[in-house]
Amino acid sequence: MNPYNWFQLIFYFVVLFLLVKPLGLFMAHVYQGERTFLDPVFGPLERLIYRLGGVRADEEMNWKVYAIALMVFNVLGLLAVYALQRLQGFLPLNPQGFSAVSPDSSWNTAVSFASNTNWQGYGGETTMSYLTQMLAMTAQNFVSAATGMAALAAMIRGLARHTTDKIGNFWVDLTRTVLYILLPLAFMLGLALVSQGVVQTFSQYQTATLLQPITDASGKTVTTQTLAVGPAASQIAIKQLGTNGGGFFNVNSSHPFENPTPFSNFLEMLSILLIPAALCYTFGKMVGDTRQGWAILTAMTVIFVALFAVNVWTEQTGNPAIAKLGVDIQQSDINPGGNMEGKEVRFGVANSALWATATTAASNGSVDSMHDSYMPLGGLVEMWMIHLGEVVYGGVGSGLYGMLAFVIVAVFVAGLMVGRTPEYLGKKIEAYEMKMASLILLIPVFTALVGTAIGVLTPAGQSSVLNPGPHGFSEILYAFSSASGNNGSAFAGLNANTPFYNTALGIIMFIARYWLAIPALAIGGSLARKKKVPAGAGTLPTHTPLFIAWTIGVVIIVGALGFLPALALGPIVEHLMVFAQ
């Protein structure tokens, strides 16, 4: 990494870490049901929502009821998104007159947005009406994020409380997350983005005259260009903040109307990790020991920085095959150098790699550069971030509850090594917690690897591959990994808008979201019932550098052991081939 890359990284993390404590503290207040400074604004609205919904805000649920409420809400939301797409031809706010989306694509998109994955098999500006974009996509961007955060809040309560079976009220957590956290943040970010030139309009697509007419493939001279516009800023703000990632435009945040300037790029990048990072502080605050939150945040950051360094190093090194063609890829005073294929010039290698690492680390899935065009090792970093279980920051809420499952496994083995039956934050980790934590670790591995196996075995899976060799394998592996991690980003080069991929990826996104959220709630429910063991001299401290290192080791080892063979046949062999020449 050159000094410029370091500067980008350090500046990014300084700003991020400055925001962690205030936002984390605020969110802790929200989840502990305390008054915040936003109460005068949203308090009446909150109470109105409860009255309309018939919710008794002071009645808490046990984990099973909580899980049922979460599932009911999400399945209904999924059906609504499906219906909106299928019926958009008959509905208003459709200036381009788009017709109904195909059933398999609608299913895929419905699951994708409900599960906070935001995998997009479709191209937004050529498929979805404004109404669908706003009512289905933007609304799901809020509530799917809020669902993950609510599940996390419930699990944390399980760790913080003792000898109770109540872990909170789903409807209250959902409402308060949207009103007090997501709406204000999205509003602020949306305004900032508009100031940078991100579009926000209901008017039709614009036609502009080209300065320089061109000839298309059929030999016709083209003099005009259609500029897709729409209510983009409002959706982009929440897609970044809620680790959704589903772009308004097909090319996501590399589109100049979605991400026009380096400053908008910085804000959007910051928003990717903002809430997941701050939730670590919220966690520490709620369990009464902020060191625990900082420890987890440190573990995430160490993994992030290490993998970012690999990514930026391999991108800055560039492609030897291109160098052989006589292209200067060496960095100099007048040449940024490196692998610029698939990257926007206004962002460059460092900001593209930073975004790519952050968006895969955080299960966001938005992109400002094309992951398919990264060097094999760069692509490996992005894929592996997903393989680690989306726990390096991870999705809002889901990242931390996934990480807590890893911490529970780490505590279990480390606890044994100090000669006690393991405990975390005073709670004994027993067979039930191990069962649930194992599920959380196991299911993404299962869906990603088995999905890829089906993809490479079936003609339907193989026929979508546009690139030969190991890179084609990487594309299939990436698609199924992205769905399994509820990430949503894609290696382009794979035609995923086919019935096979729409259906298969839809099923995987569904399993990967809810078969993880429910065990996480189950852990919370089980821990809430337990007594709290006071810490003593023999208790394993879980905030020390040693324990942080151990947790990192567990995350890396589990991620490596599960995916190394598959990666060897994809990016690793591709890397060796590129540099063997």
Partner 1 sequence: MNNQLKKQSAFRRELYQRAILDSFVKLDPRWMVRNPVMFVVEVGSALTTALWVQALFGKGEAPAGFIGAVAIWLWFTVLFANFSEAVAEGRGKAQAEALRKTRQMTQAKKLKAPNRESKYELVPSTALRKGEVYLVEAGDLLAVDGEVIEGIASVDESAVTGESAPVIREAGGDRSAVTGGTRLLSDWLIVRVTANPGEGFLDRMIGLVEGAKRQKTPNEIALNILLAGFTIVFLIVCATLLPYSLYSVQISGKGVPITITVLVALLVCLIPTTIGGLLSAIGIAGMDRMIQRNVIAMSGRAVEAAGDVDVLLLDKTGTITLGNRQAVDLLPVNGVSAQELAEAAQLASLADETPEGRSIVVLAKEKFGLRGRTIGSSEGAPEGMRFVPFTAQTRMSGVDFDGTSIRKGAPDTMMALVQSNGQAVPPDLQTSVDSIARSGGTPLVVARNRSALGVIHLKDIVKGGINERFAHLRKMGIKTVMITGDNPLTAAAIAAEAGVDDFLAQATPEAKLKLIREYQSGGRLVAMTGDGTNDAPALAQADVAVAMNTGTQPAREAANMVDLDSNPTKLIEIVEIGKQLLMTRGALTTFSIANDVSKYFAIIPAAFASTYPVLTTLNIMRLATPQSAILSAVIFNALVIIALIPLALRGVPYRPLGAARLLRDNLLIYGLGGLVAPFIGIKLIDMLLAALHLV
List Cα–Cα distances, 87 to 78, 132, 421, in angstroms: 14, 9, 56
> Judging by DSSP bridges, how do beta strands 423-424 and 427-428 pair with one another?
antiparallel
Residue 478 CB, shortest distance to partner 1, in Å, is 14
Q: Which of residues 420-439 bind partner 1 (CB under 8 A)?
A: 420-421, 426, 429-431, 433-435, 438-439
* Residue 291 is a binding residue for partner 1 (CB under 8 A): no
* Residue 442 is a binding residue for partner 1 (CB under 8 A): yes
Q: Are 85 and 136 in contact (CB under 8 A)?
A: yes
Closest to partner 1 by CB, 191 or 306:
306
Choosing from 77, 124, 284, 472, the residue that interacts with partner 1 (CB under 8 A) is 472
* Residue 540 is a binding residue for partner 1 (CB under 8 A): yes
- Total residues found in the chain within this entry: 581
In whole angstroms, give the CA distance from residue 374 to residue 328. Answer: 18
DSSP-assigned beta bridge partners for residue 423 = 428
In the block, tokens 């995998």 appear at 119
Closest to partner 1 by CB, 97 or 534:
534
* Residue 462 is a binding residue for partner 1 (CB under 8 A): yes
Choosing from 77, 242, 470, 519, the residue that interacts with partner 1 (CB under 8 A) is 470
Per-residue mark of binding to partner 1, 37-76 (x: CB under 8 A): ----------------------------------------
Burial of 326 (0-12, 13-18, 19+ CB in 10 A): exposed
Closest to partner 1 by CB, 331 or 539:
539
Cα 355 from chain centroid (whole Å):
12
Closest to partner 1 by CB, 343 or 575:
575
* Residue 531 is a binding residue for partner 1 (CB under 8 A): yes
* Residue 321 is a binding residue for partner 1 (CB under 8 A): no
DSSP-assigned beta bridge partners for residue 494 = 465
* Residue 473 is a binding residue for partner 1 (CB under 8 A): yes
Closest to partner 1 by CB, 165 or 430:
430
Residue 537 CB, shortest distance to partner 1, in Å, is 3
Closest to partner 1 by CB, 273 or 554:
554
Q: Are 300 and 313 in contact (CB under 8 A)?
A: no
* Residue 306 is a binding residue for partner 1 (CB under 8 A): no
The window from 120-128, 266-274, 394-402, 537-545 that contacts partner 1 (CB under 8 A) reads 537-545
Residue 530 CB, shortest distance to partner 1, in Å, is 9
Choosing from 40, 54, 97, 419, the residue that interacts with partner 1 (CB under 8 A) is 419
Question: Which residue from 402, 436, 389 is spatially nearest to 561, judged by alpha carbons?
Answer: 389
Backbone angles phi, psi at 16, to 5 degrees: -60, -50
Choosing from 15, 490, 562, 571, the residue that interacts with partner 1 (CB under 8 A) is 562
Cα 386 from chain centroid (whole Å):
9
* Residue 546 is a binding residue for partner 1 (CB under 8 A): yes
Query: With CB under 8 A, what is the number of residues at the site for partner 1?
Result: 67
Q: Are 490 and 92 in contact (CB under 8 A)?
A: no
Choosing from 52, 325, 334, 580, the residue that interacts with partner 1 (CB under 8 A) is 580
Q: What is the secondary structure of 417-454 as a DSSP string?
A: HTTS--EETTEE--HHHHHHHHHHHHHHHHHHHHHHHH
Helix axes 499-529, 398-417, angle to 10 degrees: 50
Backbone angles phi, psi at 435, to 5 degrees: -60, -45
In whole angstroms, give the CA distance from residue 581 to residue 578. Answer: 6
Q: Are 398 and 516 in contact (CB under 8 A)?
A: yes
The window from 66-74, 357-365, 493-501, 549-557 that contacts partner 1 (CB under 8 A) reads 549-557
In whole angstroms, give the CA distance from residue 419 to residue 88. Answer: 62
In whole angstroms, give the CA distance from residue 239 to residue 124. Answer: 14
* Residue 459 is a binding residue for partner 1 (CB under 8 A): no
In whole angstroms, give the CA distance from residue 277 to residue 392. Answer: 9
Choosing from 44, 197, 288, 541, the residue that interacts with partner 1 (CB under 8 A) is 541
List Cα–Cα distances, 360 to 356, 483, 497, in angstroms: 6, 12, 21
* Residue 158 is a binding residue for partner 1 (CB under 8 A): no
Choosing from 456, 460, 507, 529, the residue that interacts with partner 1 (CB under 8 A) is 456
The window from 37-45, 145-153, 317-325, 417-425 that contacts partner 1 (CB under 8 A) reads 417-425
Q: What is the secondary structure of 192-233 as a DSSP string?
A: HHHHHT--B--SPPEEEEEEEEEE-TTS-EEEEEEE--SBHH
Closest to partner 1 by CB, 132 or 484:
484
Residue 413 CB, shortest distance to partner 1, in Å, is 5
In whole angstroms, give the CA distance from residue 472 to residue 462. Answer: 9
The window from 180-188, 331-339, 376-384, 406-414 that contacts partner 1 (CB under 8 A) reads 406-414
Choosing from 100, 188, 323, 557, the residue that interacts with partner 1 (CB under 8 A) is 557
Residue 563 CB, shortest distance to partner 1, in Å, is 8
In whole angstroms, give the CA distance from residue 444 to residue 457. Answer: 20
Residue 449 CB, shortest distance to partner 1, in Å, is 4
Q: Are 104 and 228 in contact (CB under 8 A)?
A: no
Residue 29 CB, shortest distance to partner 1, in Å, is 28
* Residue 495 is a binding residue for partner 1 (CB under 8 A): no
Closest to partner 1 by CB, 226 or 544:
544
Choosing from 6, 330, 469, 495, the residue that interacts with partner 1 (CB under 8 A) is 469
| Chain contacts with partner 1 (rule: CB under 8 A) | 409, 412-421, 426, 429-431, 433-435, 438-439, 441-442, 445-446, 449-450, 452-454, 456-457, 462, 468-470, 472-473, 531-534, 536-541, 544, 546-547, 550, 553, 557-558, 560-562, 564-566, 568-569, 572-573, 576-577, 580
